[in-house]
């Protein structure tokens, strides 16, 4: 398991309730965006904040060392993993 996958898994486990609730709302949003838009944006804002916090944790060590040039690629791989589970995550906050 790669480092970004390990961080993703740990993030999901430590925030099981938040991501579980968001998964329900996310799936509803996929089927009926108008009905779930408000809930999706509200809960999605908390989820995106949590994801960004874990992204910072993941990349902070590599930015300081000799591998700083790879941290943007690492962050992108982390977000690809997030999008596998939540394909509409980029729509949080979009009006």
Residue 13, token pair as written in the block: 């486990």
Domain spans in the chain, listed from the N-terminal domain onward? 3-89
pLDDT of residue 32: 95
pLDDT in tens, 31-83: 999 999 999 999 999 999 999 999 999 888 665 555 555 677 888 999 999 99
Residue 84, pLDDT > 70, answer yes
pTM for this predicted structure: 0.87
pLDDT of residue 64: 55
pLDDT, one tens digit per residue, over 25-40 is: 999 999 999 999 999 9
């Amino acid at each position: 398991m790669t480092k970004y996958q390990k961080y993703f898994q740990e993030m999901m486990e430590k925030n099981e309730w938040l991501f579980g609730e968001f998964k329900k709302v996310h799936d509803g949003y996929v089927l009926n965006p108008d009905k779930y838009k408000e809930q999706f944006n509200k809960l999605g804002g908390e989820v995106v904040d949590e994801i960004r916090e874990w992204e910072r944790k993941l990349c902070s060590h590599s930015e300081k060392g000799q591998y700083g040039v790879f941290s943007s690629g690492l962050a992108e791989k982390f977000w690809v993993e997030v999008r596998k589970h939540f394909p509409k995550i980029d729509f949080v906050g979009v009006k």
